[in-house]
Amino acid sequence: MTRLHLVRHGPTHAKSMVGWSDLPADLSDTAALARLSAHLPKVATVISSDLLRATATADAIQGARPRLPHDARLRELNFGDWELRRFQQIEAEDPDRIRAFWETPGTSRAPGGESWNDLRHRADAAIDALIARHAGDDLIVVAHFGLILTQVQRALRIDAETAFGHRIDNLSVTEIHCAPQRWHAARINHIP
């Protein structure tokens, strides 16, 4: 069984939709980072999205663990033209589209961006490739809110709308056990 320890990157403090923008994480809470690193298995391989907020968080918790190259497939949802804009701004311009995007996720997408199904396909492919190369290992994957929720959705066998009901805090761990025929969410949004 492969164990995924999905870690959400440190906070950016942005009050807008942040997908592929390369904002830095606030990693000033060194005590929280130390607790997080101590909580994670000592014998595990670390990988992160290629965005700065994920790579810097991975650097901060890596310790003596081996590290794989960053993977762009582990990025957050691409918000396209909505990137770095506040929900209220978008709602004022295109209320039906943004409501459909959040309330019935699936094929709805921001102009020039990805749908939930696009993200799920990309995330599943990246995670499946990691599991194939590291079967039976512990993997620490430092990624983003949306990517983590795609794997929660997968493990719990729920729809995207239900998956959105889960909270994924910065510097939290979501632990998923992956056996060939059965995935199990052991913990969701655990703050060490």
Those residues with Cβ within 8 angstroms of residue 94's Cβ, 6 or more apart along the chain or in another chain? none
Q: Are strands 182-190 and 138-143 parallel, antiparallel or unpaired?
A: unpaired
What is the per-residue pLDDT across 73-99, written as a single tens digit (0 to 9) for each? 999 999 999 999 999 999 999 999 999
> Containing H/E element for 149?
helix 145-156
Average pLDDT over residues 141-169: 96
| Count: domains in the chain | 1
What is the per-residue pLDDT across 5-62, written as a single tens digit (0 to 9) for each? 999 999 999 999 999 999 999 999 999 999 999 999 999 999 999 999 999 999 999 9
pLDDT for residue 102:
87
Res. 181: pLDDT tops 90 = no
* Domain region containing 86: 2-190
CATH number of the domain that residue 131 is part of: 3.40.50.1240
The pTM for the full model equals: 0.95
* Cα 134 from Cα 109, distance rounded (Å): 33
